[in-house]
Amino acid sequence: MLIEVGHYALALALALSLTQMVMPVWASRTGDPVLRSITVPAALATFACIAFAFGALTYAHVTSDFSVQNVVENSHSMKPLIYKISGVWGNHEGSMLLWVLILALFGAVVALARNSVPPILRANTLGVQAAITAVFLLFILVTSNPFSRLNPAPVEGRDLNPLLQDPGLAIHPPLLYLGYVGFSISFAFAIAALIEGRIDAAWARAVRPWTLAAWCFLTVGIAMGSYWAYYELGWGGWWFWDPVENASLMPWLAGTALVHSTVVMEKRDALKVWTVLLAILTFSLSLLGTFLVRSGVLTSVHTFATDPTRGTFILGILVLFIGGSLALYAWRAPTLRQGGLFAPISREGALVMNNLFLSAACATVLVGTLYPLALESLTGEKISVGPPFFNLTFLPLAVPLLLVVPFGQTLAWKRGDLAAASQRLFIGFALALAITLLAIAVTWGGPVGAPLGIGLGAYLILGAALEIVTRARGKTVGLSLRRAAGLPRSAWGTALAHAGVGITVIGIAAQAWSVESLATIQRGGELRAGPYVAVLEGVLPRTGPNYTETVAHLTIREGGDPVGVIEPGKRFYASRNMSVSEAGLLTLGVSQVYASVGETGTDGSVGIRLYYKPLVLLIWLGAVVMALGGGLSLTDRRFRVGAPALRPAVRDTAGPVPPHSVPAE
Amino acid sequence: MRALRSILLALALLAPVAAGAVQPEEVMKDPTLERRARAISSGLRCLVCQNQSIDDSDAPLARDLRLIVRERLRQGDDDDAVLHYVVQRYGEFVLLRPVVAWHTALLWLTPVLVVGLGGLALFAASRRRKATPPRALSAAEEAAVADLVRRAESR
């Protein structure tokens, strides 16, 4: 019964979101503010209905209700509770339901937000958001109903894919979706502004927190996915340039550009036309990612045909929203007034450069991902575009971009002084160079790229630190500290996020020093990777809740002293007749020793793959720091208060870069 | 997203998943040759899996290809000859790094084109801006400015 009510709640949510979509349009016809205000309760009710439906499906999963097809296909009564819950979104239907749940959640938060979004803009934004929600609800109800029943109900379910029975799945998709779907708000704001024909710094201020929040979630979501792949797939890689990964990277790149261009728009009223386009493109890339992953078109052109309804439906959604929004943009954008002039050497100039290179990187990933598909359907030629291509094209775009980052922070708005900026960054340059030379000296004969990458990362971190130092420096230490504490939180957030990029760069660069070794060893046998030696103490069987496992018990020694134990294993899930390898990880500081097991011989020998991965955790820690920086910016006074700051900000007098002293409007 | 990737991966492999790709017995005795073999195989796509190189894949076909690569190296082929040998038999599809040719020109040129055209557009936009100089102050505004300056000076 609950299942049917859940299904009905989805239909109800569709009706509600259609109402929410139509009301602002009708209101602008009649000028009746009551009609417009209906969008707020409608957004809340839509969210409540979808949340109820999601709850109903979760209940079916938790109670192992095998009369529901979705539960039968993805659950098993023996499965641990956490995977019964995360299994709700570990399948197509459930993950689409999570998608609309988050979409409606964002809609509800926009409806409730107490910042000073002009009422017409808010209503129109909610209307656009409702249109997206309605179409995706329709998609679920028509092609991917998670509530369909099975009669007769089987006794046992088919279990969730063992690869997905991991805490990673519990966290990764919700975070990723919060990011993906969060950009729908920026999109809705952009469309609302185009409809209204009004776009100004107030718009930028209204949209920026949403973009930033979505960006933070997406950053952590991608990092989480990367770490999951690293320990779950068992061969120690952390990024594979897989189309599905690229599908999440593209909105991230465009979103990063958007976060930066809205700054320019908010402070200087410039780049308006571009920012609106970027907001449209970012969400379009999220939609494209959803299409690519959900339709299966990437696996091969042929799997697209195995489930044409879903693919065609999402393609329709894609055409409707991307085509529609771009058409609206082409029609309305020329009427937008261009604001604030600036010299090429200025903070705006640096942010434009940021946008140019991020867009180029994004375009490269997009073309690289879709090119094989396009080529095959046009000429029938089959080619692959894999990691070597992306590494080769991405790096030359990323390096100049990263080199500019500290300059962007240092240059003044409108017209900057490159010589003065270089002078202020000089210590940063010098220290980074010293670190690079030191790294070269210490690892003489090793890969050349790694020390350079370390130097680049150090330069980014130092640049971020210098920015705070120069802005806060006073006559005495006490004054400097007080000034540093008084800096706007967004300044700290920016510095933190940029330092996070530096941390990630160091982690990535250090992977050139990772060591891999591979051998079949007997009990008591040894295997060396870098400074660490793994000794096989024994191979034991073990039983988990819904699997049996063969575990290799390894002691890790450094110079004869034991530093830890790792137990890589191979799990066998009888319900799916599948084995999954479980990597064994030993974290030493921010470095890791990583082991996975291969074939076990009849004589007790076992194939062990051992890696030493120096500084590997920095890759993901850096991403977390980036997101924290974004989060800190979100707590900045002007977002909490929302209204444009009327009084001139006195705090910024210390620095030559006073963002607040430029009136927003 | 990752979820699906993993499903596809598992489905593609069909056979039970075993950790590790290159097995110890495949490793060549000469470390230099082995390093070259690893480098080559990480650039070759496994034909039956999703976006995995043969170096990462557990599929039997990937193993066969790894052995072929090592066999060719043992025969004294240089890296290009090995790649040529594999491409001859399995087609361009196996190359994870697409060749530079007419049919991949757009692919390789994308970054250059976007940066180039974007830069050009920016340049043109800044030129256009310069061409329309800011409006001069009206007589009334000039007077107001002069008045302000005078007041500031007299203070």
Kindly list the residues from chain B whose CB atom is less than 8 angstroms away from the CB atom of residue A387. Answer: 42, 53, 96
| Most B-contacting residue of A178, A244, A287, A401 (CB-CB within 10 A), to test interface | A244
Q: Would an 8 Å CB–CB cutoff place B43 in contact with chain A?
A: yes
The Cα A240–Cα B45 span in angstroms is 12
The Cα A535–Cα A554 span in angstroms is 5
Residue of A nearest to B122 (CA): A352
The minimal CB distance from B6 to the residues A164, A341, A392 is found for A164
Under 8 Å CB-to-CB from A462, ≥6 apart: which residues?
A406, A427, A428, A431, A432
Kindly list the residues from chain A whose CB atom is less than 8 angstroms away from the CB atom of residue B25. Answer: 520
Q: Is B3 within 8 Å of A596 when comparing Cβ atoms?
A: no
Q: Which helix (H) or strand (E) holds A486?
A: helix A477-486
The Cα A219–Cα A178 span in angstroms is 10
Mind listing the pLDDT tens digit for each residue in A226-235?
A: 998 888 876 7
Chain B nearest C-alpha distance from A233 (Å): 8
Pairs from A452-455 (Cβ < 8 Å, separation ≥ 24)? A452/A509, A453/A505, A453/A506, A453/A508, A453/A509, A453/A510, A453/A512, A454/A506, A454/A509, A454/A510
Interface of A with B in 15-74 (CB under 8 A): none
Give the pLDDT confidence score for residue B8 in this predicted structure.
42
Give the pLDDT confidence score for residue A625 in this predicted structure.
97
DSSP-derived secondary structure letter, A443? T
The Cα B1–Cα A309 span in angstroms is 20
pLDDT in tens, chain B (155 residues): 444 444 444 433 333 333 356 777 788 888 888 889 988 998 998 887 777 888 888 788 888 899 999 999 999 889 999 999 999 999 898 999 999 999 999 999 999 999 999 999 888 887 776 666 667 788 888 888 989 999 888 76
The Cα A650–Cα A191 span in angstroms is 36
Mind listing the pLDDT tens digit for each residue in B33-70?
A: 888 998 899 899 888 777 788 888 878 888 889 999 99
Which strand ranges, in their side-by-side order, compose the sheet holding A515-521? A515-521, A606-613, A591-600, A584-588
Give the pLDDT confidence score for residue A642 in this predicted structure.
47
Give the pLDDT confidence score for residue B11 in this predicted structure.
39
Under 8 Å CB-to-CB from B30, ≥6 apart: which residues?
none
Give the pLDDT confidence score for residue A269 in this predicted structure.
83
| Most B-contacting residue of A384, A391, A414, A415 (CB-CB within 10 A), to test interface | A384
Q: Would an 8 Å CB–CB cutoff place B125 in contact with chain A?
A: no
Of all residues in chain A, what percent are helix, strand and coil, respectively (each to 5)? Answer: 65, 10, 25
Under 8 Å CB-to-CB from A657, ≥6 apart: which residues?
A347, A409, A410, A411, A412, A413, A471
Q: List chain B domain ranges.
A: 2-94, 102-154
Q: Which two tokens stand for residue A121?
A: 């803009």
Homologous superfamily of B2-94 in CATH?
Cytochrome C biogenesis protein (1.10.8.640)
Interface of A with B in 612-651 (CB under 8 A): none
Q: Is A173 within 8 Å of B10 when comparing Cβ atoms?
A: no
Give the pLDDT confidence score for residue A183 in this predicted structure.
96
The Cα A555–Cα A354 span in angstroms is 47
Residue of B nearest to A163 (CA): B6
Q: Which helix (H) or strand (E) holds A521?
A: strand A515-521
Q: Is B2 within 8 Å of A229 when comparing Cβ atoms?
A: yes
Under 8 Å CB-to-CB from A479, ≥6 apart: which residues?
none
The minimal CB distance from A242 to the residues B5, B7, B22 is found for B5
Give all strands (DSSP E) within A522-661, no chain letters: 526-529, 532-543, 548-558, 561-566, 569-573, 578-582, 584-588, 591-600, 606-613
The Cα A560–Cα A438 span in angstroms is 28
Share of chain A above pLDDT 90, in %: 53
Identify the burial level of A414 via C-beta atoms within 10 angstroms of its C-beta, where 0-12 means exposed, 13-18 middle and 19 or more buried. Answer: middle
Q: Enumerate residue ranges in chain A where pLDDT < 50.
A: 300-305, 642-665
Residue type at position B11? L
